[in-house]
């Protein structure tokens, strides 16, 4: 894969191109681009100069104070919530739908399963889960709690479920909160925990994993679907070009928001590679089977799994 220095250089060139594009846009079209910059200035002002001396984390390829990342990520997904499915189609070439279908088949929920779907605001994983239980087992007792930090994303999910027989039933509920602090989820209360394309946006991934372990019942399963690292050098080179040249441009065309898509591409490169993430899952207390993950499409995405035993 291209070196991190090369990726940073490529990202900077794209950012300069984006800046020149924004200067020629109308005020309404440039609003999305400038939103995250405004959030950074507001957050910096409210936290004072001392934030510059605090612990840093990454927001894409940019280093920011930890106390700023949550607000920045929240703004990204507020911007893209209404275009979320289209966003994933752009970022995966539409293959994300097949990955998610396989993800739920791999989970293979049994009748009556209680699922906590974290960072699942738009409901696409929750819908697949309930459909699988109904179509495979004829089961209408499975339950899913859709949990997300972003109310815009949750609203998309609620609207999705309003068009289904699951609406206004006990099978689905929605909860807003931070994956690092599942304060309203009791210990040992869930049969399964899923998080799809969300964990890389969290500030402290280790805390997310520990909370997942806490809320699962003994024997419960943690499953994560996330963009990952491509090892094949030829595929990796093509993937880098697609990521840094095509995706932000498509984000501008489709969602009128290049900046959010630029962050999303960079966030993928900052996420730990497969084996390193497996170690983090083990460190949280989970038991993994085999190598602990399954690569999808040359490692563009991967499914990670662990059990609370």
**Sequence ranges of the domains in the chain:** 81-231+271-307, 233-264
Looking at residue 51, its pLDDT comes to 41
pLDDT confidence band for 172 (50 / 70 / 90): very high
Q: Is 259 exposed, middle or buried (0-12, 13-18, 19+ CB in 10 A)?
A: buried
**Which residues are known binding-site members for S-adenosyl-L-methionine?**
122, 148, 178-179
Looking at residue 237, its pLDDT comes to 94
The answer to whether the beta carbons of residues 299 and 230 sit under 8 Å apart is yes
d(CA 225, CA 118) in angstroms, rounded, equals 11
d(CA 156, CA 143) in angstroms, rounded, equals 19
The yes or no reply on domain 81-231+271-307 and CATH 3.40.50.2000 is: no
* Torsion over CA: 197, 225, 305, 267 (sign): negative
| Nearest 10 degrees: Cα torsion 97, 98, 99, 104 | 90
Looking at residue 7, its pLDDT comes to 46
Contacts of 197 (CB under 8 A, 6+ apart): 88, 96, 119, 225, 226, 227
Looking at residue 50, its pLDDT comes to 39
**Which residues are known binding-site members?**
122, 148, 178-179
Check whether 16 has a pLDDT greater than 50.
Answer: no
Strand partners, 114: 143
What is the per-residue pLDDT across 32-87, written as a single tens digit (0 to 9) for each? 434 444 444 444 444 444 344 468 887 777 777 887 887 777 777 777 777 777 77
Looking at residue 196, its pLDDT comes to 96
* Torsion over CA: 202, 203, 205, 211 (sign): negative
Q: Would you state the structure tokens that stand for residue 174, as one six-digit string? A: 């929605």
* Interval 85-101 mean pLDDT: 85
């Amino acid at each position: 894969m291209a070196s991190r220095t090369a990726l940073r250089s490529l990202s900077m060139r794209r950012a300069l191109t984006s800046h020149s594009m924004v200067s020629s846009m109308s005020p309404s079209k440039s609003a999305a681009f400038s939103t995250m910059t405004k959030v950074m200035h507001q957050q910096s002002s409210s936290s004072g100069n001392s934030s510059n001396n605090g612990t840093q984390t990454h927001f894409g390829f940019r280093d920011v104070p930890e106390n700023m990342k949550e607000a920045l990520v929240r703004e990204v997904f507020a911007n893209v919530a209404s275009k979320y499915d289209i966003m994933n189609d752009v970022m995966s070439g539409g293959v994300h739908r097949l990955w998610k279908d396989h993800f739920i088949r791999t989970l293979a929920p049994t009748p009556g399963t209680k699922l906590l779907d974290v960072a699942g605001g738009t409901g696409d994983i929750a819908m697949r889960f309930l459909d699988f239980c109904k179509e495979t087992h004829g089961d209408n007792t499975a339950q899913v709690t859709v949990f997300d930090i972003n109310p815009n994303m949750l609203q998309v999910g609620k609207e999705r479920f309003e068009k289904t027989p699951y609406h206004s039933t006990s099978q689905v509920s929605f909860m807003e909160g931070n994956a690092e602090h599942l304060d309203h989820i009791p210990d040992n209360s869930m049969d399964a925990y899923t998080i799809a394309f969300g964990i890389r946006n969290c500030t402290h991934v280790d805390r997310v994993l520990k909370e997942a372990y806490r809320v699962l019942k003994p024997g419960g399963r943690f499953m994560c679907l996330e963009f990952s690292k491509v090892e094949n050098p030829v595929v990796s080179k093509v993937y880098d070009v697609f990521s840094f040249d095509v995706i932000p441009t498509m984000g501008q065309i489709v969602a009128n928001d290049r900046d959010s898509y630029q962050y999303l591409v960079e966030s993928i490169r900052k996420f730990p590679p497969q084996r390193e993430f497996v170690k983090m899952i083990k460190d949280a207390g989970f038991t993994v089977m085999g190598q602990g993950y399954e690569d999808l499409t040359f490692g563009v995405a991967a499914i990670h799994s662990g059990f609370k035993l």
